[in-house]
Amino acid sequence: MSDRYTETYARSIEDPSGFWLKAARAIDWDVFPTVGHDERGWFPDGRLNTCYNAVDRHVIAGNGDRVALIYDSPVTGTQQRFTFAELQHEVALVAGMLAGRGIAKGDRVIIYMPMLPETIFAMLACARIGAIHSVVFGGFAPAELAKRIDDAEPRLVLAASCGIEPSRNVHYKPLLDEAIRLSTHKPEACILFQRPQEPGTLVEGRDFDWAELRAIAEPVGCVSVAASDPLYILYTSGTTGAPKGVVRDNGGNAVALAWSMANIYGVKPGEVFWAASDVGWVVGHSYIAYGPLILGCTTVLYEGKPVGTPDAGAFWRVIREHDVSVFFTAPTAIRAIRRDDPEGEYLARDGTGKLRVLFLAGERADPDTLHWSAEKLGMPVIDHWWQTELGWPALATCVGLERSETLFGSAGHPVPGFEFAVLDQEHQPLDRDEIGELVIKMPLPPGCLPTLWRNDEGYREAYLARHPGYYTAGDAGFFDGDGRAHVMSRIDDIINVAGHRLSTAGIEQIVAAHPAVAECAVVGAADALKGMVPVALVVRKSRVAMDDKQLTQEIVRRVRDELGPVAAFHDAAVVDMLPKTRSGKILRAAIRDMADGKPAKIPATIEDPAAIDLARAALERIGFPRG
């Protein structure tokens, strides 16, 4: 632990308002806040514009010729670069396009678009005029998009006609039409960005062509918003089928991201930062769109995969070609690369240019992946921990403040601003090395969610009610003798599938709704590539004439159609009964253990011990455990 980190951390905890007001100087404000934090939240009397901070101010400072955005798309064979001046021009026009449709401050705009420069323009354009965007990931099915439309009640949807996955085109336009058919709230209009790979059909009177509107749009400037005004809503999996609308405010977000870029990631303005995620996730919001641009870095927008586009050398090519200094991805992506290139031959052959550090997050970084990447890259590999709700890392090795080193098994120290505790279920603090619930003392630092969209009660219930005075992160872990955190598992039914956060309860609801299913249990089972995959045990209703194969195929299809391909739900097994206690509680932990090939803890209160053998045999039949 360096003195610099220790001293910075201590200041952030002793005087949070003072600490973050000082950090706020990295941002250009219309009205500089006089108050750091009070009961109204962070920077309650500050005013600013996030797009101005990400774009315009760099042009005004004379850096208009510096590259802001590199679009690298192996799936279309395209590369494009936009300087800050070009980005300003594009964003001002898209903002003009929105304003031309009457969109103004506070209006919601859903962005249903893949990894295109226009997606970044759209996000920044909303920020420019004070509209609140909600980006929806393309791997979700129409029903999920419909839930988000109903909750956010957007006036407008900005969409692309298709996304491009290596194996197929994602039919965004028909999916969007279906979602609007399913939703109760109907957006006034949709603006469609037509991609040549698969143009979409416009619905007369509702849909408009992006290029046509852009051609007649007048550029629009930045409006001043309150620091507490929402910048975006991002939906994430909760413990039910209903997604939670995480709200991000303008002021806290800008300050936290600027601080994190310099102090956690250790980058400087003008350097190239690449987060290989998707704009549909929080990593894409914070570290593809806003964070790098606010600091004046070049950001990379990569429309491709770690492998198969065209090979396991793709990430290293991007890093080399675009002079990436700091790189961020999910452990699952490294596992995919290692699977295809175990000896790291692409790396050995071509190198990684200016890269100096790799950051991993999204799921627990397993020691094998850490060892492999640290050895093959020959540089520090930093596991760090955060979540959609927090918006930026809460546990990390702060490369800007302390020596960067690979830690095997730990996600690092608490980041300045985050005061952690490990509690038992009776709210009692646990000792070092004891596993308990990871909680963060309230108030959270800037940039973290102030609430859920139009659901203050849901926010309190989900995050604050469990341990008074603390934010419950939903993860279990411990701090070791050196004060480093080890994040071990979730305390709820959230699972992480290839870095994507899903609720098994949400999948269970879909499976249970199949007319032939009497009851079911869905758990997350270990998977060598994706970390975890969902698997279902299903009990058929009596007198249902459907063979097991047909039933499981229908269930798999349902989850894909209702939740989306991103769930990677491919496995279900039919059993005569589920392992349960005598009071009827399904033994999900035991099922999970069996799916992972571990000895299952069977309580004395089990209803029928034979259910255990049936479940184990059923899981084996469909290939579990698979490690």
Point out which residues bind ligand COA (CB under 6 A).
114, 137-139, 163, 165, 167, 170, 276-278, 281, 283, 305-307, 330, 332-333, 336, 361-362, 498-499, 529, 565-566, 568
Are the C-beta atoms of residues 488 and 434 closer than 8 Å to each other?
A: no
Q: Which one of ligand AMP, ligand COA, none interacts with residue 444, CB within 5 to 8 A by kind?
A: none
| Partners of 575 in the β-ladder | 539
Binding of residue 284 to ligand AMP (CB under 6 A):
no
Q: Which one of ligand AMP, ligand COA, none interacts with residue 241, CB within 5 to 8 A by kind?
A: none
Chain-centroid distance of CA 434 in Å reads: 28
The 381-410 site mask, x for binding ligand AMP (CB under 6 A), equals --xxx-xx----------------------
Looking at the Cβ atoms of 346 and 478, the one nearer to ligand COA is 346
How many residues are given for the chain?
627
Pairwise CA distance, residues 21 & 12, whole Å: 11
Q: Which one of ligand AMP, ligand COA, none interacts with residue 99, CB within 5 to 8 A by kind?
A: none
CB under 8 Å to 547, separation ≥6 — which residues?
none
Largest pairwise CA distance in the chain: 75
Pairwise CA distance, residues 248 & 126, whole Å: 14
Smallest gap, in angstroms, from Cβ of residue 390 to ligand AMP? 8
Looking at the Cβ atoms of 263 and 387, the one nearer to ligand AMP is 387
Are the C-beta atoms of residues 113 and 147 closer than 8 Å to each other?
A: no
Looking at the Cβ atoms of 98 and 532, the one nearer to ligand AMP is 532
Looking at the Cβ atoms of 84 and 287, the one nearer to ligand AMP is 287
Q: Which one of ligand COA, ligand AMP, none interacts with residue 387, CB within 5 to 8 A by kind?
A: ligand AMP
Are the C-beta atoms of residues 327 and 355 closer than 8 Å to each other?
A: yes
Binding of residue 362 to ligand AMP (CB under 6 A):
yes
Looking at the Cβ atoms of 449 and 568, the one nearer to ligand COA is 568
The 188-227 site mask, x for binding ligand AMP (CB under 6 A), equals ----------------------------------------
Q: Which stretch binds ligand AMP (CB under 6 A): 344-352, 357-365, 368-376, 523-531?
A: 357-365
Are the C-beta atoms of residues 329 and 381 closer than 8 Å to each other?
A: no
Smallest gap, in angstroms, from Cβ of residue 389 to ligand AMP? 7
Smallest gap, in angstroms, from Cβ of residue 347 to ligand AMP? 23
Looking at the Cβ atoms of 207 and 475, the one nearer to ligand AMP is 475
Looking at the Cβ atoms of 47 and 558, the one nearer to ligand COA is 558
Binding of residue 278 to ligand AMP (CB under 6 A):
no
Smallest gap, in angstroms, from Cβ of residue 409 to ligand AMP? 10
Which 3-state string (H, E, C) describes 400-468?
Answer: CCCCCCCCCCCCEEECCCCCEEEECCCCCECCCCCCEEEEEECCCCCCCCCCECCCHHHHHHHHHCCCC
Smallest gap, in angstroms, from Cβ of residue 193 to ligand AMP? 26
Q: Which one of ligand AMP, ligand COA, none interacts with residue 139, CB within 5 to 8 A by kind?
A: ligand COA
CB under 8 Å to 387, separation ≥6 — which residues?
236, 282, 473, 474, 475, 501
Binding of residue 501 to ligand AMP (CB under 6 A):
yes
Residue 308: exposure state from Cβ atoms within 10 A (0-12, 13-18, ≥19): middle
Smallest gap, in angstroms, from Cβ of residue 361 to ligand AMP? 4
Residue 6, SS3? helix
Pairwise CA distance, residues 186 & 146, whole Å: 10
| Partners of 474 in the β-ladder | none
CB under 8 Å to 227, separation ≥6 — which residues?
33, 42, 43, 44, 45, 46, 47, 48, 249, 250, 251, 252
Pairwise CA distance, residues 279 & 268, whole Å: 22
Residue 342: exposure state from Cβ atoms within 10 A (0-12, 13-18, ≥19): exposed
Query: Binder to ligand AMP among 156, 411, 422, 578 (CB under 6 A)?
Result: 411
Smallest gap, in angstroms, from Cβ of residue 274 to ligand AMP? 18
Looking at the Cβ atoms of 137 and 471, the one nearer to ligand COA is 137
Smallest gap, in angstroms, from Cβ of residue 489 to ligand AMP? 8
Pairwise CA distance, residues 204 & 328, whole Å: 42
Smallest gap, in angstroms, from Cβ of residue 127 to ligand AMP? 21
Q: In Å, what is the CA distance from 544 to each residue of 509, 514, 516, 554, 556?
A: 20, 12, 6, 14, 18
Chain-centroid distance of CA 572 in Å reads: 27
Q: Which one of ligand COA, ligand AMP, none interacts with residue 83, CB within 5 to 8 A by kind?
A: none
Pairwise CA distance, residues 312 & 306, whole Å: 6
Looking at the Cβ atoms of 180 and 566, the one nearer to ligand AMP is 566
580-619: contacts with ligand AMP (CB under 6 A) = none
Report how far apart the first and last C-alpha atoms of the chain are (Å, whole number): 35
Q: Which one of ligand COA, ligand AMP, none interacts with residue 474, CB within 5 to 8 A by kind?
A: ligand AMP
Smallest gap, in angstroms, from Cβ of residue 365 to ligand AMP? 6
Q: Which one of ligand COA, ligand AMP, none interacts with residue 475, CB within 5 to 8 A by kind?
A: ligand AMP
Radius of gyration of the chain (CA): 24
Instruction: Indicate the pairing of strand 500-503 with strand 494-497.
Output: antiparallel
Q: Tell me how many residues contact ligand AMP (CB under 6 A).
A: 20
The 447-486 site mask, x for binding ligand AMP (CB under 6 A), equals --------------------------xxx-----------
Are the C-beta atoms of residues 148 and 135 closer than 8 Å to each other?
A: no
Looking at the Cβ atoms of 131 and 192, the one nearer to ligand COA is 192
Smallest gap, in angstroms, from Cβ of residue 354 to ligand AMP? 25
Residues that bind ligand AMP (CB under 6 A): 236, 282, 361-365, 383-385, 387-388, 411, 473-475, 487, 490, 496, 501
